[in-house]
Amino acid sequence: MLDDLEYIPKFQAVNRFNLLEKLDNNITAFYDEAYGEEDEVLRTWHHGKKAQKRVRSLLEIAIQEFSKTDLYYNEVVLKIEQAIIQYQKTRGKEEQIAEDAVYLKLKNDLGEALKSRHRYIAIVHADGDNIGNTIASLQNDAGKTRAFSAELMSFSEQAVRKIYQYGATPVYAGGDDLLFIAPMQNDEQMTIYDLLKSLHDLFAQQPVFQSNKASLSFGLSISYYKHPLAEALSTSRNLLFGKAKELEIDGKKRKDALAINLLTHSGHQFETTLWQDGDSYPLWLELFKPSEKLEEAFIAGLMHKTDTLALWLWDACNRGTLDAFFKALFNEAIHTAKGRLLDKIKDLTRAIFVDYALHASANNEEKRLLGQMLHAMLRLVQFQNAPDHD
């Protein structure tokens, strides 16, 4: 057989089809067809008398929080569009902008307002849970099927609107499937986690999903804006289908989860999967509010203690003595000033213990899960507020 293969004629393709070139030339038409010509998912700009549209760059998405400032327009948007003009003039020879110089200018002008998160992007895959059961419940009824399709379309359209209003770029929206690229925080102090909660609630409001206990799970990949996009996309998808939709609690598959991977510029990473239907999830979201003003050093101290005293933490929850445990552990002056915040973290700890059925822990490894979950949640809060060290 191998000998026969050697004699098969080999042909060189004459007309090569360049997919990237086709996308580059037709991206406006694609988005106009998907979102309508009056929609501004794409950025409209003018080159001479010619109006053009383009997808926002990853750099623009990462620092979208400053999109309403002159600094953002002059130092980022204009330079990118000048590079595009040069790219078009040279017929495909790539024109680079000095991104390090852009960030240096931003840091000099913004000072402490520039955070580490402004160098990172969030890539999100979303998919509905228990949709198969929902379809089965229609029983091939034409009326019910039309209503189901209408609700899916309605969710998709409203979801894209929310994604765009947040400042993210939708890549794909088809029924209960979503893919988009987003900043960690937008110009209205709304975090990526607030957006995901909004999409999750929107999905749950659709009547057909309520009656069939359908939910929306997410895979969230957080990575440096220069990190290979294909890898980040793959990570997000694997998180959704390999972690979020496979979440088990007390031996039962729960789904309805948010699986997160944070990969820093230095190469450090960690993952966690959070159940969105428990009491701990909204308590965790509270910690991201600007009013909390969580200092990096304070959170680092909390994470250190949850690591070193993980078994004691589990024991305090199991015995119902968590109040006394926190009072004995956090008894310094700095802790007194953070009393309200510590109460929130204590409530979060107790909720994690209940949500994830950790009372059934059979060994020390399982008992440490409480400290690990709390550490992961605090680490994500810390990242969101961390200063820019680059």
Q: What is the pLDDT of residue 220?
A: 98
In the chain, domain spans? 19-113, 117-277, 292-385
CATH topology of domain 117-277: Alpha-Beta Plaits (3.30.70)
**Residues 93, 186: Cα–Cα separation, whole Å:** 33
Confidence category of residue 2, pLDDT binned at 50, 70, 90:
very low
* Residue 288 or residue 4, greater confidence: 288
**Residues 298, 211: Cα–Cα separation, whole Å:** 44
Going by C-alpha positions, the residue among 95, 91, 97 that lies closest to residue 18 is 91
Tell me: pLDDT of 300 over 90.
Answer: no
257-263 and 177-183 strand pairing:
unpaired
**What's the pLDDT tens digit per position in 137-163?**
777 878 878 888 888 888 999 999 999
215-224 and 257-263 strand pairing:
parallel
Question: How many CB atoms are located within 10 Å of the residue 18 CB?
Answer: 10
* Residue 317 or residue 212, greater confidence: 317
Q: What is the pLDDT of residue 195?
A: 98
**What's the pLDDT tens digit per position in 187-230?**
999 999 999 999 999 999 888 777 777 899 999 999 999 999 99
Residue pair 272/221 in contact by the 8 Å Cβ criterion? no
Residue pair 249/357 in contact by the 8 Å Cβ criterion? yes
Question: How many CB atoms are located within 10 Å of the residue 381 CB?
Answer: 24
Q: What is the pLDDT of residue 210?
A: 75
* Least confident among 212-221, 290-299, 304-313, 328-337: 290-299
Quote the tokens at residue 38: 């009056």
Q: What is the pLDDT of residue 280?
A: 97
Tell me: pLDDT of 309 over 50.
Answer: yes
**Widest CA span in the chain:** 83
Q: For 174, which DSSP code? A: E
User: Region 30-51: what's the mean pLDDT?
Assistant: 58
- Percentage of the residues of the chain whose pLDDT score is greater than 90: 47
Residue pair 65/118 in contact by the 8 Å Cβ criterion? yes
For residue 12, how far is the Cα from the chain centroid?
43
**What's the pLDDT tens digit per position in 357-370?**
998 787 898 899 99
* Residue 296 or residue 186, greater confidence: 186
User: Region 6-11: what's the mean pLDDT?
Assistant: 47
Strands (E) in the chain, as ranges, are: 43-47, 50-54, 120-129, 169-174, 177-183, 215-224, 248-249, 252-253, 257-263, 269-275
Tell me: pLDDT of 336 over 80.
Answer: no
**What's the pLDDT tens digit per position in 54-112?**
788 899 999 999 999 999 888 888 888 887 777 767 655 555 667 888 888 889 999 99
Q: Is 255 left (phi over 0), alpha (psi -120 to 50) or beta?
A: left
**Residues 227, 230: Cα–Cα separation, whole Å:** 9
* Residue 43 or residue 98, greater confidence: 98
Confidence category of residue 354, pLDDT binned at 50, 70, 90:
very high
Tell me: pLDDT of 261 over 80.
Answer: yes
**Residues 315, 112: Cα–Cα separation, whole Å:** 40
* Residue 362 or residue 293, greater confidence: 362
Q: For 77, which DSSP code? A: I
Residue pair 220/236 in contact by the 8 Å Cβ criterion? yes
